[in-house]
Amino acid sequence: MEAPPGIPKSLQAEVELQLVSREQIRWIEQPVPRFFTAKSTTDVFCGILVTAWTVHEISALRPHLTFDLICLALCILLGIWGIIMILSPLWTYRRARRTLYVITDRRAIVFEPDKPGWITTVTSYWPDRLKNMKRRERKDGTGDVVLGRVFGPVLWWRKVGFFRVRDVRKTEQVLRELMGLSNLP
């Protein structure tokens, strides 16, 4: 199967490197890139509040006191953090453009960049790990196929799977065929 248009050549090359002998691609897609998701909208709102509070606090400081200099340094750090939060939709969009979902005749594979974007993490889901998948469908037919949860690096559970795919029902159907189940429930 040939990759759909718009998938970067670097990601296509990454897929070719991961496939084992005679493994065939049955489905391949990138998530729908969106600037504003529920998480990035929350981040922007919090970033605006943090940045506004920081600007207010900096304007109220009298820099001739040592304590005020420490507060100024902390406010500057908080201000930088707030600006990073405001810019989070750009990173969300960029991350979606560098994520790829593949279903072969043997497994489901997720290619996703790490947070800074320098390294691509490749995760394979074999048919026995797909038993508890759940479909979340939006009114426009896009949605998520959640394959499970993993314990994240910052002490919380995070969902794993295929997120913001264009035709979520077709995606689930191909995954069910991989598992040996032919029909949707």
pLDDT tens digit sequence for 89-108:
888 888 888 899 999 999 99
How confident is the model at residue 3, as a pLDDT? 62
Sequence-distant contacts of 53-56: CB under 8 A, at least 24 apart: 53/78, 54/78, 54/79, 54/82, 55/79
Specify the pTM. Answer: 0.77
Q: What is the pLDDT of residue 71?
A: 78
With tokens 């691509």, the residue in question is 120
Half-sphere exposure of 80 (CA within 13 A, CB side): 5
Q: Which pair of tokens denotes residue 22?
A: 């005679």
Note the pLDDT tens digit of each residue in 23-45. 999 999 999 887 777 777 888 99
Burial category of 1 from C-beta neighbours within 10 Å (exposed 0-12, middle 13-18, buried 19 and up): exposed
Q: What is the DSSP letter of 129?
A: G
Residue 4 is predicted with a pLDDT of 67
What pLDDT, on a 0 to 100 scale, did the predictor assign at position 89?
Answer: 86
pLDDT in tens, the chain (185 residues): 666 667 888 888 888 889 988 999 999 999 988 777 777 788 899 999 999 988 887 777 665 556 677 777 888 899 999 999 998 888 888 888 889 999 999 999 999 887 666 788 899 999 988 888 999 999 999 999 999 887 766 667 778 899 999 999 999 999 999 988 655 55
Check if the beta carbon of residue 101 is closer than 8 Å to that of residue 152: no
What pLDDT was estimated at residue 41? 83
CA dihedral angle for residue 77, residue 78, residue 84, residue 86, rounded to 10 degrees: -150
Give phi and psi for 95, each to the nearest 5. -65, -40
**How many other β-carbons are positioned within 10 Å of the β-carbon of residue 44?**
17
H or E element in which residue 135 lies: strand 134-137
